[in-house]
Structure 1
Amino acid sequence: MKLQRSRIAALFATGAALVGAALLQAPAQALPQAPQAPQAEQAVLATTFEDNFDGPAGQAPDSNKWRYDIGGSGWGNAERQYYTNSTRNSAKDGAGNLVITARKESGGFQCHYGTCEYTSARLLTAQTFSQTYGRFEARIKIPGTQGVWPAFWMMGQGGNWPNNGEIDILENIGREPTTVHGTIHGPGYSGAEGIGAAYQSPNGVPFRNDFHTYRVDWSPNVITWYVDGVQYQRRTPADLGGDQWVFDRPHFMIMNVAVGGYWPGYPDGTTVMPQQMLVDYVRVSTLDSSGGNGQITGLAGKCLDVAGANSADGTTVQLYDCNGTAAQSWSRPGDGTIRALGKCLDVANAGTADGTRVQIATCNGNTAQQWSYANNDIVNRGKCLDVTGNNSANATPTQIWTCGGGANQKWTIT
């Protein structure tokens, strides 16, 4: 399927605050993969976000976890709904579910085309929670009628779409009752070039008939999609045809029900309203991708080392002869961090300039502690972990620097 779709800037209205722009983009180009052997699943380490939507019927979702997009701009896809923060459009049902309801309206809101014909809700965690890597899952009963478009997806923090990435965990359109989609978007593969795949109901029963669990497992350089525990797609940088893999930074979650748009088409005489998406739970966990603690070796075979085995915040991370001590024992728990002595590998003052010092600091979830590892490069926000001056002497400090492929930027994690 090839659709010419545009993405425009939009603002999230989250209470009184405004945050960066993000719009859902359909899997305009689903690239089939050769049959894949299911990959061994990684162990879950810890739950970092969970909402089971317990509470009385009519109660709004937890504002400490979820905020709202509000408006009827069309959201870059000429959608017809006005997103509200009203409990008419998103509320608990008293049975442990959040219900997002798309309704036909006779007035009350203005949309890009005039008086809005529909209302719905779009909830997000941009101001409350984001994470790099891990398991992101939700148990959902989707709606289904012509012109309705339910989704559970993620956007990279910062609002710079598509450069910060988009991971679509679940999308469905009403005219495809037995098909769901998973897709990624980034620079060079956004809009009509999004890379994804479809999953067909194994028994031919429409997905709207029951709850299903939709999930991605996301690790450095690999994203894997599942429905009800069945793996149906796995993407790596090799799938991008040389374009940049941008899935190495925190993403936040979004769930919504759109009405109309270029991809699903528009309601017609067969459309039944209202339509409801029921969400039983949303859960995020860290994954064990480390295989335990080990050394990180670099220039001249020497080890990445915490100076003086000192666990204080701000202690320099340096190059030193490998000695098997705890100061050289590093773990990667699957959340994008690299850890030793109970602290995280950290770029001082969250700097991004060449030559910014690398240290250890209390783990805090910010981007200065998010690292990816590929091709023997350890990378933070596009800069490589670097041995200062290409000097292999003991106690040479490390820094971040523009990646150049030199031996002083090459590391082996064991």
Structure 2
Amino acid sequence: MLPNQIEYSIEVASDSLVWSEEFDGTSLNEKLWNYELGDGCPNLCGWGNNEPQIYTKTNHTLKNGFLHIQIRKEDTAYTSTRITTEKKFEFQYGRVEARAKLPIGKGIWPAIWMLGSNHREVGWPLCGEIDILEYVGREPHIVFNSLHTKDSHGETINTKKTKIDDIEEGFHTYVADWSPKKIDFYVDGDLLYSFEPKVHTKEIWPFDQPFYLILNSAIGGNFGGHDIDDSVLPQEFVIDYVRVYKN
């Protein structure tokens, strides 16, 4: 554990750890994680954003307690990894904490996020989405925190962009603190954005049900940007741990 991890852990010491993934093994623990493979077709081609990447089981490694998601261009194909805890770990309310090092370059789009567990029944965005971390290489030094709901669909009004000059340097800690009435987002212990609506209809607040975790790095697309800089590839999205605390 590095010194900044020790300091940050003091802040959450009063919370009870209910789930963690430390990536200590040599292969991904499939009791905890599912792979989502391919290009999203036929149900969600381009994974809903015209992304060109293909997700595989071979674009990651576990080394020395870190998950390395590898973003590559192989011949004409872009490849990456997307894993989820759907049906294996789903939870309602809590403090999600992840420590990660970002990949960089135009077209790179790493994310740590969550979807409502009912998304296969009601669809997106009615299921809700919590974006703990999004970063796009076309906008250096910017962290995105967003909440997608039926009410904000098409506008993404529940979002905040924060400039952090050194965000590409080394590891940083990303947190979403989710309670029955509010969600707060932090980086390295600093509060970046709070969402606390006055009305809690399903269209505005679908966050009163279990959600599951997703880790991935997309490439390009409507949000990542279609101007992909192939010269920066390969890149790695490195994740030290993901922990969920009862708040």
Counterpart amino acid of residue 237 in structure 1: P
Q: Does 1:75 align with 2:44?
A: no
Considering only aligned residues, what root-mean-square deviation do their CA atoms show, in Å?
Answer: 2.1
Counterpart amino acid of residue 85 in structure 1: K
Q: Structure 1 CA distance, aligned partners of 2:82 and 2:157?
A: 22
Say if 1:185 and 1:191, in contact at 8 Å, map to a contact too: no
Question: Which secondary structure state, in structure 2, belongs to the residue aligned with residue 145 of structure 1?
Answer: coil
Q: Structure 1 CA distance, aligned partners of 2:236 and 2:187?
A: 20
What TM-score does the superposition give when structure 2 sets the normalisation length? 0.87
Could you say which residue in structure 2 is the equivalent of 1:319? none
Question: Which secondary structure state, in structure 1, belongs to the residue aligned with residue 192 of structure 2?
Answer: strand
Could you say which residue in structure 2 is the equivalent of 1:158? 118
Aligned pair count?
Answer: 229
CA deviation vs aligned residue, 1:35-79 (integer Å, no higher than 9, x gap): xxxxxx887432111011113xxx321111111111113101010
92, 95, 104: which one aligns with 1:144: 104
Question: Which secondary structure state, in structure 1, belongs to the residue aligned with residue 232 of structure 2?
Answer: coil
Counterpart amino acid of residue 71 in structure 1: G
Q: What are the within-5 Å matches in structure 2 for residues 261-276 of structure 1?
A: 261-269=221-229, 271-276=231-236
Distance 1:271 1:236, change over 3 A: farther
Could you say which residue in structure 2 is the equivalent of 1:4? none
CA deviation vs aligned residue, 1:126-162 (integer Å, no higher than 9, x gap): 0210110000110000101000100000000022211
CA deviation vs aligned residue, 1:176-229 (integer Å, no higher than 9, x gap): 22110111011121233341101211xx22x22210000010101100000000
Q: Structure 1 CA distance, aligned partners of 2:229 and 2:134?
A: 23
Could you say which residue in structure 1 is the equivalent of 2:72? 103
Question: Which secondary structure state, in structure 2, belongs to the residue aligned with residue 237 of structure 1?
Answer: coil
Distance 1:242 1:62, change over 3 A: closer
Q: Structure 2 CA distance, aligned partners of 1:243 and 1:163?
A: 6
Distance 1:165 1:118, change over 3 A: same
Could you say which residue in structure 2 is the equivalent of 1:199? 162
CA deviation vs aligned residue, 1:60-116 (integer Å, no higher than 9, x gap): 211111111111131010101000112xx12202x210000011011xxxxxxxxx6
Question: Which secondary structure state, in structure 2, belongs to the residue aligned with residue 153 of structure 1?
Answer: strand
Q: Identity over aligned residues, as a percent?
A: 40
Question: Which secondary structure state, in structure 2, belongs to the residue aligned with residue 221 of structure 1?
Answer: coil
49, 53, 57: which one aligns with 2:19: 49
Larger radius of gyration: 1
> Which of the pair is proportionally richer in strand?
2
Say if 1:105 and 1:117, in contact at 8 Å, map to a contact too: yes
Question: Which secondary structure state, in structure 1, belongs to the residue aligned with residue 198 of structure 2?
Answer: helix
Q: Does 1:62 align with 2:25?
A: no
CA deviation vs aligned residue, 1:253-280 (integer Å, no higher than 9, x gap): 0010001111121244564100100000
Greater relative contact order (CA < 8 Å, ≥ 6 in sequence): 2
| Unaligned 5+ runs, structure 2 | 1-10, 40-44
Distance 1:138 1:269, change over 3 A: closer
Could you say which residue in structure 2 is the equivalent of 1:219? 179
Say if 1:168 and 1:184, in contact at 8 Å, map to a contact too: yes
Q: Structure 2 CA distance, aligned partners of 1:68 and 1:270?
A: 25
> 1:230: Cα distance to partner?
0.4
Could you say which residue in structure 2 is the equivalent of 1:259? 219
What TM-score does the superposition give when structure 1 sets the normalisation length? 0.53
Could you say which residue in structure 2 is the equivalent of 1:348? none
